[in-house]
Amino acid sequence: MKRALILFGVLAASITLAAQQPDRRQPPPIGPAPSLKLPAIQKHKLSNGLAVWIVEHHEVPLAQVNLIVRSGSAADPIGKYGVGSLTAAMLDEGAGTRSSLDLADAIEFLGANLSTTSSFDFSAVRMSVPVSKLADALPLMSDVALRPVFPVAELERMRKERLTGLLQARDNVAALIQLAFPRIVYGPTHRYGTSANGLPATIESLTVDDLKAFYRAHFRPDNATLLVVGDLTPAAALPMLEKAFGAWRSEGMAALVAEVPTAPQLGKRQIYLVDKPEAAQSQIRIGWVGVPRSTPDYAVLQVLNTVLGGSFTSRLNQNLREKNGYAYGASSGFDMRLSAGPFLATAGVQTDKTAEALREFFNELDGILSPVPADELAKSKNYVALGFPGEFETTGDMARKLEELVVYNLPDTTFSNFVPSVTGVTAADVQRAAARYVQPEKMAVVVVGDRKVIEGPIRALNLGPITIVPIDDLFR
Partner 1 sequence: MTRWLTCTPLALATAILVLAGGPAIGIERSLQAQTAALTVPYTQFTLPNGLNVILHRDTSVPVVTVNVWYHVGSANERAGRTGFAHLFEHVMFEGSMHVPEGSFDTWLEAAGANNNGSTNTDRTNYYIDLPANALELALFLESDRMGFLLDDKAPGKVDGQRDVVKNEKRMRVDNQPYGQAFVELSSLLYPPAHPYSWPVIGSMEDLSAASFEDVARFFRTYYVPNNASLVIAGDIDIASTRKLVEKWFDDVPRGKPVPPLEPLSAVLDGVKKKTITDRVQLPRLYMAWHTPGLLKPGDATMDIIANLLSSGKNSRLYRRLVYDLQIAQDVAAFQQSQALGSNFVIIATARPGQSLDRLQAVIDEELDTLRKAPPAAREMTRALNQTEASFYRNMERVNGKADQLNAYFKAAGTPDYFEKDLARYRAVTAAEVQAAVDRYLPKDRRVELSVVPGDQK
Query: What is the rounded CA–CA span in Å between residue 324 and residue 49?
Result: 58
Number of H helices, E strands in the chain: 17, 12
Tell me: does residue 105 bind partner 1 (CB under 8 A).
Answer: yes
**Which listed residue (6, 7, 15, 280) binds partner 1 by CB under 8 A?**
280
Per the CB < 8 A criterion, the answer to whether 80 and 92 are in contact is no
Tell me: does residue 308 bind partner 1 (CB under 8 A).
Answer: no
Tell me: does residue 440 bind partner 1 (CB under 8 A).
Answer: no
Comparing CB distances to partner 1, the nearer of 146 and 349 is 349
Q: Shortest distance, CB of residue 170 to partner 1, whole angstroms?
A: 6
What number of CA atoms fall less than 13 Å from residue 223's CA on the CB side? 27
Comparing CB distances to partner 1, the nearer of 255 and 306 is 306
Tell me: does residue 168 bind partner 1 (CB under 8 A).
Answer: yes
Q: Shortest distance, CB of residue 301 to partner 1, whole angstroms?
A: 13
| CA-based torsion, 424, 428, 432, 437: positive or negative | positive
Q: Shortest distance, CB of residue 181 to partner 1, whole angstroms?
A: 10
Q: Shortest distance, CB of residue 87 to partner 1, whole angstroms?
A: 14
Q: Which of residues 343-362 bind partner 1 (CB under 8 A)?
A: 344-346, 348-350
Tell me: does residue 229 bind partner 1 (CB under 8 A).
Answer: no
DSSP E strand boundaries for 231-372: 270-275, 281-289, 327-334, 342-350
Binding mask 176-205 for partner 1 (x = CB under 8 A): --xx---------------xxx--------
**Which listed residue (385, 402, 405, 406) binds partner 1 by CB under 8 A?**
385
**Which listed residue (3, 5, 16, 109) binds partner 1 by CB under 8 A?**
109
Where b means 16+ CB within 10 Å and e means fewer, 227-247 reads bbbbbbeeeebbebbbebbbe
**Which listed residue (42, 294, 318, 439) binds partner 1 by CB under 8 A?**
318
Query: What is the rounded CA–CA span in Å between residue 216 and residue 224?
Result: 13
Query: What is the rounded CA–CA span in Å between residue 388 and residue 381?
Result: 11
| CA-based torsion, 17, 23, 24, 30: positive or negative | negative
Binding-site residue total for partner 1 (CB under 8 A)? 106
Strand partners, 409: none
**Which listed residue (259, 328, 366, 473) binds partner 1 by CB under 8 A?**
328
Q: Which of residues 25-84 bind partner 1 (CB under 8 A)?
A: 25, 27-36, 59-62
* Residue 186 three-state SS: helix
Using the rule CB under 8 A, give the single segment among 255-263, 325-333, 359-367, 434-442 that binds partner 1: 325-333
Backbone angles phi, psi at 206, to 5 degrees: -70, 140
